[in-house]
Amino acid sequence: MNKSLIKTLCDFRNDVTLVIGLYQQLFNSRFCVLAKKPAEDLQTMLFLTYPTKDGIRELPVFTEPHRDLLLNLSTELLDAITIEIDGKDLWPKMLDIVKTDECEVAIDPGEHYGIRLTQEMILGMVCQYGTTHT
pLDDT band (50, 70, 90) for residue 133: very low
What CATH number is given for 3-129 in this structure?
3.40.1350.90
Q: What is the pTM assigned to this prediction?
A: 0.89
Give the count of alpha carbons within 13 A of 33, CB side only.
Answer: 28
Confidence of residue 132 (pLDDT cuts 50, 70, 90): low
Structure confidence at residue 61 (pLDDT): 97
Predicted confidence (pLDDT) at residue 134 exceeds the cutoff of 50: no
